[in-house]
Structure 1
Amino acid sequence: MTAPEKRIHELIDFVLDGSCTDKQRQEFAAILDEHPELIKGLASEVFVHSLLLWQREDITRDLSSLDKAQTVEKGSSALTAESRSESVDGLRRFTTWAIAAVLLIGGGFVFWQTRPQSNWQERAVAEIVDSDSVSWKDGSTALKQGDLVVPGRLRTEGGDFTMQFRSGPIVHVIGAVSMMVESDMLVHLDSGQATARVPHELKGFTIKTPVIDVIDQGTEFGVAIREDGFTDVVVFDGKVDLADHISNKIDPTRLVQGQAARVSRQGTMQRIMQVGRDQKGGWWTSDYPSSGVNVIQEVRDNIPPADGLDYFCYQISYHGLDEDVFAYVDDPHQWNGIDERGLPSFLRGADFVKTFNDYRYMEYFQMTVSLSQPANLYVFFDDRVPPPKWLTDQFEDTGENIGLDEGPWPARDKALRPDLPVYQNAVGAGNSIDNIFSVWQRRCDDTTPVVLGIMGEERQARAMYGIAATPLDVTSVSAKDHSILN
């Protein structure tokens, strides 16, 4: 018997006696991922074991012992025939559950393959609604009739695909991945990256990882299992609860929109300072992208974590600046052109940073921007505030403007201040522009980091500045040139 076969048999015993841990389940799945040839023999062995157990005469003696054990002090009656029948049913239900657990953990191969294939549509919990260059690996037992997903395992070598679950969530998977689909509300992600968008009215959709359970509370969030063993969790909208498998914490850690955390194998969590996304939001990374993809390499601030609970995370949108893009991580405000001409042409398609609007009144705030190449670096600064010295010393006002379309107030703010003005996002350039920002430019001939500062000393109404960058060979145009072009 090979070492993998021996270990599989050891793990079966843990499953059948009810002591299997999440770590052992993950080990079981990993072995079967590497050795799918073991599944058929494993399933046959478990079924034979079950049938023999049911037919053993020892069961009758066990039930007889159970009768005696449950007989109470003198005057109590023994188990009735009805209760004995219920005990037999309970034992059978346990055995059936144990078999189902083994087969589901191992990829669900036999359980689903032995069902009539004409009913895959009824048994599907999700459907693949989009895919691009996906290379499926052997052992993808959850994939049926091309695009149906039933409980089982999905494994890819690369590409990306999107699943629409029957319960409502949409999950986008990218790159090499191994995941177990258990139901329309539960997925085990063993390796790779998945981003889920869940309807706000639906709560409880969960992505389990080897170290943490990410439990949705109506949101868009991303989960990535890193090669170094850490797990990254990013919340793009709404909120999630994180329940780790290691510590003794009773209450889960909650992450809200704009927060991100990296979780170690020991369950410790740390802030992720930034993530990058493509302009369509199809993929994201907490690492630096490959050369040539980005202009903005990194943004960092001097805000210390508050007792380890502050997980604010900047988002860099590569080539993403366009009409109606969200300006901030934490507020639903959008950048737009100030009139029907739209954004200044030299800004379209620029890398830009979604900053934190909550930082606009910080007195000691400092941000450092690092570039991957020589670039034009831009700061969008609120015209309601006098430009601070760090801005006038390092940047030049282009004479161009960009508009901010403010979105709705958070429900908690509106409840506390019913007198607040009503804001709604509109679509398109020049629509619903609530505030004007001047576009300031700095020519960066090298990649020396640039340090930005606070909004100013005064406390008047304001919104946090924005940041964008283009390669140096994309030349800025003056206000006069812009008027001629338009």
Structure 2
Amino acid sequence: MNSSNDAIQKELAALTCRVLDHSLTHAEDARLTEILSEYPELIEDYTNQIQADAVLTADLYAAVPEGVDLETLETTAYPTVVAEEVEIEAGRTISLWQSVTVVIVVLLVGIALWLNAGWWDVKPVNQVAVISEPAPPALSHVGMLLDTEDAVWEDEELGEEIAYGTRFPAGKKLWLKSGIGRIRFESGAGIVLEGPAQIELCSPLNAKLNYGKIAAYVPDEAHGFTIDTPEIQIVDQGTRFGAVVDPLGKAEVHVFEGQVDVKPQAAAKTLNLKASQAVLFSRQNELGSAIRLTPTKFADVPSLEQLTAAKSGNYPPVEAVPFDHETPRNEYALIQTKSALPKGILAGEAFEYPATSLLQQTGGVGFHYEGWWADPNFTRLMVPEQRMQWGELDANPMVLQSRGHHHAYPALAHRMARKLETPLTRDFYFSLLVKYEGLDKNDFFALWFDDSLGSKGNSHSRVPNFGLKEKRFFARFEVNQEGFSAGLVEGECFLLVGRVMKEQSSYFNRLEIWVNPVGDRSETPDAVVELGKGAKKLNAVHVLGMRIGQYTEVGDSLFVDRLVIGKTFESVTQPVE
């Protein structure tokens, strides 16, 4: 470990001692929060030290037999072990072997007192035989993972990726290093966890949040659902609420609907919070102080459709709205059809296949032999009543149709992707014919470029994205830092053109976008976006894909054709010869 990290660990240890001594100042409190935010890998060390102190100061003394005073015990009568003392803070040291010695003394004294009571000579008087009832069988599981968004877990058994539908037993501890995870409890309650976070699933009606951000939806059948934190207990009274817990024990509670009862662990008073109220609890203010309600601070809780679908135990469910059968029309449309792809391009796809499913299709130009990954529940190849066309660019009879989000499914289930045959390491252009039916302000789709496929829960939101948002076309490297172009018109075909660039850099750091460009407009893009601090530094593009937003209605349809990637603006905008 380098000297810088070593110094941070020593500073953290000293501040932790101040916490345990209840002598932490406001300035030291702020510094401790800063360290744990900047070095999340130290959070576990901090919480372990807090828990160890709690055991030594609470559980140990609680186990001492009545009438025994630890301070009067003659510890010199017992063998001692000399151990190296670790200096934590000037004037305070902790010796592991000293703690072990005290534990041994307590156990020996307790056994001696127990034996001296002469329990074997006690004769039962009027003893009545009691037949104990067998304990009810333990639940095989208490929760299920519904979906994730860019989640990175740390789990010895399950690894960094946990599959949708995974069931968790009682007592399961989950550490979410980053991203979002949604979980349904067997009681019917649903939570969304945002990392870094550490949670224990105790029972169908209870979870312990050590730190992190959580929001919950609790239907009537899960009334009384409880979240325990190191400093407070949150008991649902039929509601939607959110909570933020930091490793120092600070906790925020925000009530969006209904009400909750909040009981500080160190106080006898219970506080009832109603809708639109929010309170901050801390070591300095155990009864809490009012703060501003901030719903946008929390990710969306599981949908009612997700919770209902998960009751069966099979998740995600099978799509309930099948596509119309298109195979005969597809086969007929391919007879004597010329390619809609121009020559001299880096990669291209005209979606010309006799089947209705895009899954594992291997055609196109410049793509990897493995073919497309696509969910047939939400994508299909079909023949529209009218061909897609913009200017002199004509599409083929067949197009790709992707429909909206089914709310019983994971949020990021609507995705298709394919590897390129040769990675893109220099500036490149692309174009895409796009038409949207069912347009409103909540609709979203994006064409993304990345260096890996990622898991099913990968949003690819920190890499180059081009698409539709809030009825306008956009380009972005990261969420909420977009450049926008012209608006979209319901049912009208558009040509979307983009450029991904390395401007005096080893990684892609500039995006340009054109919508329906007329003539040579390569030097006058409609919008330009520069790489932001939170974006991924991408040196090469190995994969591209498309996805539909989670708020897009299931009845909406996105139609796509003539996806082209080339070295120049002209190569992706010129018609087929």
TM-score (structure 1 length as normaliser): 0.36
TM-score (structure 2 length as normaliser): 0.31
Greater Rg by CA: 2
